[in-house]
Structure 1
Amino acid sequence: MSLVKKFATVGGATLGSRLFGFIRETFMAAALGTGPVADAFNTAFRLPNTFRRLFAEGAFNSAFVPLFAREIEANGMDGARRFSEEVFGVLFTVLLFLTIAMELTMPFIVSNLIAPGFADDPEKLGSTIVFAAIMFPYLACMSLAAMMAGMLNSLHRYFAAAIAPVFLNFILIGVLGYAWYAGQDPIAVGYGLSWGVMAAGLVQLAIVWIAVRDAGIKIGLRRPKMTANVKRLLVLALPAAITGGITQINLLINTNIASAQEGAVSSLVYADRIYQLPLGVVGIAVATVLLPELARALRSGNVNEASNLQNRSVEFTLFLTLPAAAALLVMSEPIVRLLFERGKFSPESTIIVGHILAIYGLGLPAFVLIKAFIPGFFAREDTRTPMIFAAISVVVNVSLALTLFPRLGASGIATAEIVAGWVNAVLLFATLVWRGHWGRDIPLLTRIPRLVLAAAGMAAALYYAVGWFAFELSSAASLLTRATTLTGLVAVAMVIYFGLAFGLGGASLGMIRRNIKRGAKAPAEPAATPEAGD
């Protein structure tokens, strides 16, 4: 299977999850708006999500995958199964004690670390504590699921781990649909959503567990033991977890800061949901596929293939991300109005969230490039360098957020996030080049400015079109009119961008055709198992 096809497999599944996530957020915006229950739920949900990205996805998709792949190559599937059981025993024990400790200290953590700004509203603070206590076991489920996903990715079975998150959206949409049917008040909706998150964690764990068994690996529960393999994993996992979860670290800190302003937390979450669509579909697909592919190329000593993989990945991410960033920058407000402005989500909320989304658009290429650069370090088992750069970007984020929030509100926090993202991306790329781990690629260097020019031309056309169709995109127009107009503008923008990209030489049909066919001629990979389905 070619690199493009693997990206498409993971990206397609992620796209489905994110589209249902839009539906979920649309229902939630109508039910809760940016009010106190929305702030409470979003703040509470941030806690297990942050731990999941830090100690689950970040660690296991970065440190576990190369070690698991090496174990398969050295000792076959039996060795990989033993290694998995060793890791599973330690991980399960750590998660059990962490969950108990967090449940017992939840009031202190929420009141002092997560949302100190809620102290002036005891009802909102109390709801946040209860919601967080209900949802926190979701972390244990998703951490174990992340380990299973790492195994599946190493076996080149990407689909199951990518499709599992959609069930969180299915369940929460069901909760919101029932709440609307039953006429529940906002606090009841908050409780229903919290229990829905907990149930979704169990369902997602079951999906990847079954997929791993179908792949031929049955994991039994062993007594936790610090074997040499586990120690090596922990050495790699700690910095990898911090690095992989840098966005979540920033979001958690920013949630703490934003809690001082009514509605700021929810405004950031709604904007984040929209910009996560291109980030998730492109960035996560590239990171998920690129890491095991790079690890395989480097293990076989094929430096040229590793360099080509990195360059083609950057080319692919920019080709799809630059137009998305330009669109978010110039038409953020109509997008937010169409998706969220109904029920308790007011026109004033649309303006605030739209402004935040436009700022996020400027940072989108940086966050996608980070996901393309980091595998270049992790595949070489260097997790320390990205951790240092991640720490630097956290300092930049916190400093700017504290400076800008009193003046710009939630928009100041968004600005801090994107500046920190660009700092991280530049440091990662410069280090890869300096170490000689990034091969010079003339076609890539000539295509990037042409892709930027194509995206700029598309943005200019969209800017004038949005002004021309101002009434059709406004609150005064019907939902159907707004949806039809926005869909038409997106379609025209795609024609303009792809026309300019191909016309200027930023992309070519021959290049795409060669990437698609490349995998069909490649020899079978010893680490792969029969085709199954991130």
Structure 2
Amino acid sequence: MSVARNTLVQSSLTLGSRVLGMVRDILLIAKIGAGPVGDAWATAQQFPNLFRRIFAEGAFASAFVPIYARTLEAEGHEAARAVAQEALRVLFAATAALTILAQIFMPWVLLLIHGGQADDPANYALAVLLTRITMPYLTFMAIAALLSGVLNSAERFILSAGAPTLLNLSLIPAAFVAPSAEKTALAAAVAYFIAGLLQAGVLWWGVRRQKVHISLIGWPRMTPAVRKVLKLAIPGTIAASGTQINIIVSQSLASFEVGAKSWLYAADRLYQLPLGLVGVAVGVAILPRLSKAARALDESGSRRTMDEGIGLAMALTLPAAAALMIAPVFLIDVFFTRGEFLLSDAQMSGHALFHFAWGVPAFVLIKVLAPAFFAREDTKTPMRYALTSVLINTVLGAGLFFWMKSNGEAGFIGLAIATSIAAWVNTFLLATTLMRRGWYTPGPRLVSGVVRAALSTAVMSAAVWFMLQNLAVIQAQVLNSRILAAVVIVLTGGVIYAFAALLTGAIRISDIRQALRR
């Protein structure tokens, strides 16, 4: 199965989940709004979102898949099953212990990520309660991650890509069952717990259908195979989650500005769309092929896979990033301005979205470049670069945040700037190291494809800018509905980009046929 088709499967299911996720966030943000309660809810989601993106969206699986696949190929199904089972027991024990400790020490843990509002006892206590309820999601995601790795090794992507839909289906009802912002947040936190249990259960069923019978019952043992998995998985997980750690750092600093967490959260929901739909999907799709090429010492096959993955990622990411930069306030306003979330909140959130947007290509490239290291069982190098980006983000973000506040500006905007700069530094380090080691050099076809995609994006951007200048005219033609006007602009922009990409050769009919062919 080609990278394009694997990505199409992954992205299609992820798209369905993200659409439901937008519905979820539109409903919950309207009910909870921006402010102390909204900030408490954003804080309660920080751990679940971090662990979902680290585990469920491929970071842990990226480290686990090469070991599992190598064992499967060299020693057979039973040996691979034993590795998965022992690794699962150790992972479950470790994450369960961490969850229990977090429950006990949560009031002090939140001083690190919500300390700016510790002087508001009622809302700080609400943040502690909500986070305690959502924290067990860590253990569920750890189980789901390993099970997803087993499925992805067999190039079975449907369940691992579709399982996150259960989170959205669980959270949407929370917007309707409670009358107040506080009770809505509480219902949503409980829904997180339920969703984690459902996701782990569905993936467990999927693995058993592949005739891989894993049991949690038994004492965890640090076998040589498990130590090898953890030796790669721990730095690999840190490496693949650098962007998410930077988000945590930014949110922590944002707690010193009431409402900023809510504004950053709304921006996060939009700029994470291309990252989840493209970056994660391509990264997950290419890892099994890169691992296979690395075992066979097939450097040409590895390069072709990387070229295909990066080319596809940039062809889909550049127009999305451009659209977010051209119309940040408009998009936030259309999606989230209702109920307790005001137009003034949309304007503040839009400022952050603009600066996140120019970092989107870097966020995606990190997800595509890192698997080239993971496939060769080198997880320490990407980890070092991820930690470097965290250091840059922390120092630069703190500096910009307090400098901008001292000058009477919104400090949280500096956090978005720092996050994007840190991502581009991470991307540069990954790319130059791959080339220096001779593991990957972009081919001329890729370079040409990226240039063509950039030209097509410029054509689309001009068209979208023109439509925004004539927004009142467009809105008048669609029942004065800002939502319908946004749909018209987004669809028209997408069609224009598609035609421009076909004309310039950024996307070719043969590539589309290959993606759709079994």
Which TM class, normalised by the smaller chain length? over 0.9
- Residue aligning to 1:527: none
- Residue aligning to 2:120: 121
Provide the C-alpha distance between the structure 2 equivalents of 1:488 and 1:436, rounded to a whole number of angstroms.
46
Provide the C-alpha distance between the structure 2 equivalents of 1:248 and 1:439, rounded to a whole number of angstroms.
27
TM-score normalized by the length of structure 2: 0.95
Match of 2:199 among 199, 204, 213: 204
Q: Deviations for 1:267-303, whole angstroms, at most 9, x for unmatched residues?
A: 1111111111111111111111111111012212322
Helix, strand or coil at the partner of 1:190: helix
Matches within 5 A, 1:151-170: 151-170=150-169
- The answer on whether the counterparts of 2:90 and 2:221 sit within 8 Å (CA) in structure 1 is yes
Stretches of structure 2 that go unaligned for 5 or more consecutive residues are 405-409
- The answer on whether the counterparts of 1:3 and 1:516 sit within 8 Å (CA) in structure 2 is no
Provide the C-alpha distance between the structure 2 equivalents of 1:22 and 1:87, rounded to a whole number of angstroms.
34
Q: Deviations for 1:390-427, whole angstroms, at most 9, x for unmatched residues?
A: 11111111122112213142211111111111111111
Q: 1:455 Cα deviation (Å)?
A: 0.8
- Residue aligning to 2:224: 228
Q: Deviations for 1:477-519, whole angstroms, at most 9, x for unmatched residues?
A: 99862122222222221232222222223332234445655xx
- The answer on whether the counterparts of 1:58 and 1:242 sit within 8 Å (CA) in structure 2 is no
- Residue aligning to 1:455: 457
Provide the C-alpha distance between the structure 2 equivalents of 1:322 and 1:303, rounded to a whole number of angstroms.
28
Provide the C-alpha distance between the structure 2 equivalents of 1:335 and 1:238, rounded to a whole number of angstroms.
37
Pairing 1:379–2:378 present = no
The one-letter amino acid paired with 1:170 is L
- The answer on whether the counterparts of 2:56 and 2:160 sit within 8 Å (CA) in structure 1 is no
Pairing 1:22–2:22 present = yes
Provide the C-alpha distance between the structure 1 equivalents of 2:352 and 2:35, rounded to a whole number of angstroms.
18
- The answer on whether the counterparts of 2:20 and 2:168 sit within 8 Å (CA) in structure 1 is yes
Provide the C-alpha distance between the structure 1 equivalents of 2:395 and 2:293, rounded to a whole number of angstroms.
40
Provide the C-alpha distance between the structure 2 equivalents of 1:478 and 1:343, rounded to a whole number of angstroms.
23
Provide the C-alpha distance between the structure 2 equivalents of 1:135 and 1:206, rounded to a whole number of angstroms.
17
Q: 1:261 Cα deviation (Å)?
A: 0.5
Q: Deviations for 1:6-48, whole angstroms, at most 9, x for unmatched residues?
A: 1111111111111101001100121011122111011022024
The one-letter amino acid paired with 1:164 is A
- Residue aligning to 1:133: 132
The one-letter amino acid paired with 1:504 is T
The one-letter amino acid paired with 1:432 is L
Helix, strand or coil at the partner of 1:120: coil
Tell me: CA distance 1:207–1:326, structure 2 relative to 1, closer, same or farther (3 Å).
Answer: same
Provide the C-alpha distance between the structure 2 equivalents of 1:442 and 1:247, rounded to a whole number of angstroms.
29
Q: Deviations for 1:411-467, whole angstroms, at most 9, x for unmatched residues?
A: 111111111111111111111111111134111112212211221221122112201
- Residue aligning to 2:268: 272
Matches within 5 A, 1:77-96: 77-96=77-96
- The answer on whether the counterparts of 1:333 and 1:350 sit within 8 Å (CA) in structure 2 is yes
Provide the C-alpha distance between the structure 2 equivalents of 1:417 and 1:373, rounded to a whole number of angstroms.
18
Match of 1:296 among 264, 268, 292: 292
Provide the C-alpha distance between the structure 2 equivalents of 1:514 and 1:196, rounded to a whole number of angstroms.
40
Tell me: CA distance 1:480–1:73, structure 2 relative to 1, closer, same or farther (3 Å).
Answer: farther
Pairing 1:259–2:261 present = no
Match of 2:182 among 178, 183, 187: 187
Matches within 5 A, 1:106-505: 106-110=106-110, 112-179=111-178, 184-220=179-215, 221-406=217-402, 407=404, 408-470=410-472, 481-505=481-505
The one-letter amino acid paired with 2:96 is L
The one-letter amino acid paired with 1:207 is V
Q: 1:305 Cα deviation (Å)?
A: 1.1
- The answer on whether the counterparts of 1:34 and 1:349 sit within 8 Å (CA) in structure 2 is yes
Provide the C-alpha distance between the structure 1 equivalents of 2:342 and 2:485, rounded to a whole number of angstroms.
21
- The answer on whether the counterparts of 1:465 and 1:489 sit within 8 Å (CA) in structure 2 is yes
Q: 1:54 Cα deviation (Å)?
A: 4.8
TM-score normalized by the length of structure 1: 0.92
Of 90-99 and 14-23, more deviation after overlay is shown by 90-99
- The answer on whether the counterparts of 1:243 and 1:390 sit within 8 Å (CA) in structure 2 is yes
Provide the C-alpha distance between the structure 1 equivalents of 2:466 and 2:436, rounded to a whole number of angstroms.
42
Stretches of structure 1 that go unaligned for 5 or more consecutive residues are 521-534
Provide the C-alpha distance between the structure 2 equivalents of 1:472 and 1:342, rounded to a whole number of angstroms.
21
Of 351-360 and 225-234, more deviation after overlay is shown by 351-360
Matches within 5 A, 1:37-48: 37-48=37-48
- The answer on whether the counterparts of 1:472 and 1:482 sit within 8 Å (CA) in structure 2 is no
Provide the C-alpha distance between the structure 1 equivalents of 2:38 and 2:13, rounded to a whole number of angstroms.
28
The one-letter amino acid paired with 1:291 is L
Provide the C-alpha distance between the structure 2 equivalents of 1:274 and 1:348, rounded to a whole number of angstroms.
18
Provide the C-alpha distance between the structure 1 equivalents of 2:218 and 2:475, rounded to a whole number of angstroms.
59
The one-letter amino acid paired with 1:201 is G
Provide the C-alpha distance between the structure 1 equivalents of 2:475 and 2:273, rounded to a whole number of angstroms.
21
Of 39-48 and 10-19, more deviation after overlay is shown by 39-48
Provide the C-alpha distance between the structure 2 equivalents of 1:118 and 1:151, rounded to a whole number of angstroms.
42
Tell me: CA distance 1:514–1:246, structure 2 relative to 1, closer, same or farther (3 Å).
Answer: same
Q: 1:156 Cα deviation (Å)?
A: 1.0
Provide the C-alpha distance between the structure 1 equivalents of 2:55 and 2:284, rounded to a whole number of angstroms.
16
The one-letter amino acid paired with 2:221 is K
The one-letter amino acid paired with 1:160 is L
- The answer on whether the counterparts of 1:275 and 1:364 sit within 8 Å (CA) in structure 2 is yes
Provide the C-alpha distance between the structure 2 equivalents of 1:42 and 1:108, rounded to a whole number of angstroms.
17
Tell me: CA distance 1:48–1:501, structure 2 relative to 1, closer, same or farther (3 Å).
Answer: closer
Tell me: CA distance 1:58–1:288, structure 2 relative to 1, closer, same or farther (3 Å).
Answer: closer
Considering only aligned residues, what root-mean-square deviation do their CA atoms show, in Å?
1.9
The one-letter amino acid paired with 1:416 is A
Counting aligned pairs with the same residue, the percent is 38
Provide the C-alpha distance between the structure 2 equivalents of 1:271 and 1:349, rounded to a whole number of angstroms.
11
- The answer on whether the counterparts of 1:373 and 1:428 sit within 8 Å (CA) in structure 2 is yes
The one-letter amino acid paired with 2:444 is I
